[in-house]
Structure 1
Amino acid sequence: MSTWTTREPGVLALPSGRLVRGRALSASQQPSRSRPESPSQSTPSDARADFELILLGTLRQFEAQTAHAGETGNGTAIESRWVKWPDFRLPSDPADAAAAFAEAWARAASERVGVTCAGGRGRTGTALACLAILDGVPPAEAVAFVREHYHPRAVETPWQRRFVEHFTAETAT
């Protein structure tokens, strides 16, 4: 297994050097970085995650997404974990979300980890900010970190910002 490269769109480099890719489920809404990408930085079509954290409101949406994603192309299924998280809201089960963030952060040390929601900004940005906290970014700085290094409008709602500000590494254990 391998990790991402920093030249791939949507890849967030955490302070430890772990790389996590955030993205939108809709190809037409792929998040952009705050700095422009060059053509040499495009993601190859086969650059799929080894493990995908999928943040959606219903099990039906998750099942539809995982059925659509299919297989990696080499015959192995992409491993994924669903966090029940309605759009523009907070995770339905914060403890489950924290455990999922801890799993994603741990796996990012040696695997391609992806974090995704419908639009790739609110829920995905909130999850990325929590991963940044697990990686050592202070909670008060995590939203700014993700906005600078992933997408300038990540973490869309005031309650998502408060969720990040109150998230700690201890929350995830």
Structure 2
Amino acid sequence: MTEQWSVDAPGVIELPSGRRFRGRGLRYDSPDGPTPTFAVHLTDKPTAEPQWERVWVRWRDFWLPADPDEALRVLRQAYDRAESDRVEIACGGGIGRTGTGLATLCVFEGMAPDEAVNWVRRHYHRRAVEVRWQRRFLRHAFSAAVGPTDR
């Protein structure tokens, strides 16, 4: 098992389940300390290949992912891997798409979309989930998580 992120490290949040994630902006230098073992990059173009495992999700700034179901699959993989890996969720600036990705992880924990947005804004960045389509994506994630028979 990999040593987890320190809860005091920049950009690190700990979900109610105890899973920890680091959110950050790719435009900025990586924070000091341990590197991720797995990263999800939410960008419109592939970024330089890091020294750790990375999955790229095509997602334009201020928009929705090009393939919402694929984005959910990758974020679910990140959520599952956070039990034993240092997982990073990142976009260009580290606020909107990153915040939406982190809020999606909260939805996987059972939070309703609005609750997930508020939680991420309190614990990660006050402007996380910047536009209404990103909230729409969270509703899609919630719908996919609860399934048609659970509503």
Give the TM-score, by structure 2 length.
0.89
**Which residue does 2:108 correspond to in 1?**
134
Compute the displacement of 1:99 (Å). 0.2
Question: Relative to structure 2, which stretch is displaced further, 82-91 or 135-144?
Answer: 135-144
**Which sections of structure 1, spanning at least 5 residues, go unmatched?**
31-42, 72-77
CA distance in 1, matches of 2:143, 2:57: 18
Q: Write the mapping of 1:6-155 to structure 2, written as runs, cut at 5 A.
A: 6-27=7-28, 45-58=32-45, 62=46, 64-66=47-49, 69=50, 71=51, 78-155=52-129
Larger radius of gyration: 1
Deviation larger for 163-172 or 152-161: 163-172
Q: Which amino acid aligns with 1:79?
A: E
**Identical columns (%):** 43
Q: 2 CA distance for matches of 1:172 and 1:131?
A: 14
Task: Output the amino acid matched with 1:53.
Answer: V
TM-score normalised per structure 1:
0.78
**One-letter amino acid matched to 1:148:** R
Structure 2 residue ranges without an equivalent (≥5): none
Q: Structure 1 residue 168: deviation in Å?
A: 1.9
CA gap of 1:92–1:164, structure 2 versus 1, over 3 A, is same
Corresponding pairs, count: 146
Runs of 4+ in 1 over 3 A off after TM superposition: 169-173
Q: In the aligned structure 1, how far is the partner of 2:75 from the partner of 2:143?
A: 10
In 1, Cα distance between equivalents of 2:136 and 2:118: 13
Q: Structure with the greater relative contact order (CA < 8 A, sep ≥ 6): 1 or 2?
A: 1
- Give the distance between the partners of 1:88 and 1:100, measured in 2 at CA: 19
What code does the residue aligned with 2:40 have?
Answer: L
CA-based RMSD: 2.0
Larger % of helix: which?
1
Could you tell me whether the CA contact under 8 Å between 2:95 and 2:125 is conserved in 1?
A: yes
Deviation digits for residues 41-78 of structure 1 (CA, Å, limit 9, x no counterpart): xx5x24110000001112xxx2x421xx3x3xxxxxx0
Deviation at 1:171, TM superposition (A): 4.6
Tell whether the 8 Å contact from 1:12 to 1:21 is kept in structure 2 after alignment: yes
